[in-house]
Amino acid sequence: MKFFIDTANLADIREAYDLGVLDGVTTNPSLMAKEGISGDEKVRAHYKAICDIVDDKVSAEVISTDYEGMVKEGKELAKIDDKIVVKIPMIKDGLKALKYFQSEGIRTNCTLIFSAGQALLAAKAGASYVSPFIGRLDDISFDGMELIAQIVHIYGNYGFETEVLAASVRHSMHLLKCAEVGADVVTCPLKVITSLLNHPLTDSGLATFLADHAKAAGK
């Protein structure tokens, strides 16, 4: 299972990378705005800075919503670095753009997936990744995890190569359930990854080991 970090914050990306468990980064226009990044040149420079930290797979989202615009913008984004994966929204023109990028050998991440039908379309169009949003479905009382399981099952039936990239992952239970149902990738904030470290028995066990060691050494 791959771990991506869902942020445009360079310090968080560096920290996750230094942990040695990071496989990639996803961003979106809201996350870029949160870091105060705007304007073509600054956006490109920021993507480059992210690519310089990690080994591969940095999702960069297009802003255009028409086919020609998405193709033009996606090609520009792909030129920034070989690590870029062009993120395309699940809309009709987006579907056509996915097919185009597949034919050009440019990797894509189809975002804003909220149904199995959308995931099926994206896979048929040749998306490298689909991003179903768990947390946002949970927010409106639909079971986001059920969607992940459904997509994993459908892709398995037909051997689609598109990877299921579980997005909008808000906490460690989301992440662990994704692992159980076989999502290929999860993308989440740094705190979800680091929360996996925590267990009170680890803390108390370590405290006892250190205290016993000190006692035996006469400290």
Closer residue to ligand E4P, CB minimum distance, 100 or 129: 129
Of 100 and 133, CB closest to ligand E4P: 133
Task: For residue 2, list its beta bridge partners.
Answer: 185
How would DSSP label each residue in 158-207? HT---EEEEBS--SHHHHHHHHHHT-SEEEE-HHHHHHTT--HHHHHHHH
In the set 42, 87, 96, 191, the catalytic residue is 87
- The answer to whether residue 162 forms part of the interface with ligand E4P (CB under 6 A) is no
The C-alpha atoms of residue 57 and residue 17 are separated, in whole angstroms, by 13
Q: Which of residues 183-212 bind ligand E4P (CB under 6 A)?
A: 187
Asked whether position 108 contacts ligand E4P by CB under 6 A, the answer is no
Q: How many CB atoms lie within 10 A of CB 63?
A: 12
Of the candidate spans 10-18, 128-136, 145-153, 197-205, the one that interacts with ligand E4P by CB under 6 A turns out to be 128-136
For residue 135, give the amino acid letter: G
- Number of residues lying near ligand E4P (CB under 6 A): 11
> Residue 144 to residues 34, 169, 170, 204: CA-CA distances in angstroms?
25, 10, 11, 35
Examine the residue annotation and report whether 96 is marked as an active-site residue of this protein.
no
Q: Which is nearer to ligand E4P, 99 or 170 (CB)?
A: 170
Q: At what angle are helices 172-181 and 144-158 packed, to 10 degrees?
A: 20
Instruction: Please tell me whether residue 2 binds ligand E4P under the rule CB under 6 A.
Output: no
Smallest gap, in angstroms, from Cβ of residue 213 to ligand E4P? Answer: 43
Q: Which residues contact 73 (CB under 8 A, 6 or more apart)?
A: 62, 63, 64
- Is residue 130 near ligand E4P by the rule CB under 6 A? no
Q: Nearest-5° angle of CA 141, CA 142, CA 144? A: 125
Q: Does 29 bind ligand E4P (CB under 6 A)?
A: no
Q: What character string, x for contact with ligand E4P (CB under 6 A) and - otherwise, covers 132-151? A: -x-xx---------------
User: Which letter does DSSP use for residue 107 in this model?
Assistant: -
Q: Closest distance between ligand E4P and the C-beta of residue 155, in Å?
A: 18
> Within positions 48 to 87, which residues make up the interface with ligand E4P, using CB under 6 A?
none
Give the span between the Cα atoms of 127 and 108, in whole angstroms: 5
Binding ligand E4P (rule: CB under 6 A), the pick from 13, 131, 155, 178 is 131
Catalytic residues, by residue number, are 87
Interface residues with ligand E4P (CB under 6 A) are 6, 26, 28, 111, 131, 133, 135-136, 167-168, 187
